[in-house]
Amino acid sequence: MIKQKFLITGFFYGLIFESLGADVLGFYLLPAMAVTFLYAKLPFTLRAVNAFSAFVFGFFLMIFWASFKNGWKAPSLKFTWHIFIYVSLLLILLYTFSHAEKK
């Protein structure tokens, strides 16, 4: 069963960035929810492996979506860096919550 704390965290994290001005509806919210779901449900014992797998999925999902909305042109390096930071901060937040839960 997925901890509701993780889903609520991912939802509000995505919603905050979504409300700050995404051009495409759901650009930040849906990948945040997908990353949160993967992080919570992957079967690996080490949370770091779950975090890395969820990071790779979330990063490439956002790159794919940005390319699709941009006429299949690759996003700029600045925008790719923005996506990297967005997904990294989400996973740091989730990893912190899961580590605090263990104690």
Question: What are 51's two structure tokens?
Answer: 């975090």
The pLDDT score that the predictor gives to residue 100 is 73
Q: What is the pLDDT of residues 31-74, one digit of tens each?
A: 999 999 998 888 877 878 888 999 999 999 999 998 998 899 99
Please state, in angstroms and as integers, the Cα–Cα distance from residue 97 to each residue in 8, 28, 29, 78, 100, following that order.
12, 20, 19, 29, 5
Q: What is the pLDDT of residue 1?
A: 54
Confidence grade of residue 76 (pLDDT, cut at 50, 70, 90): very high
Q: How much is the pLDDT for 24?
A: 75
59 touches 38 (CB < 8 A): no
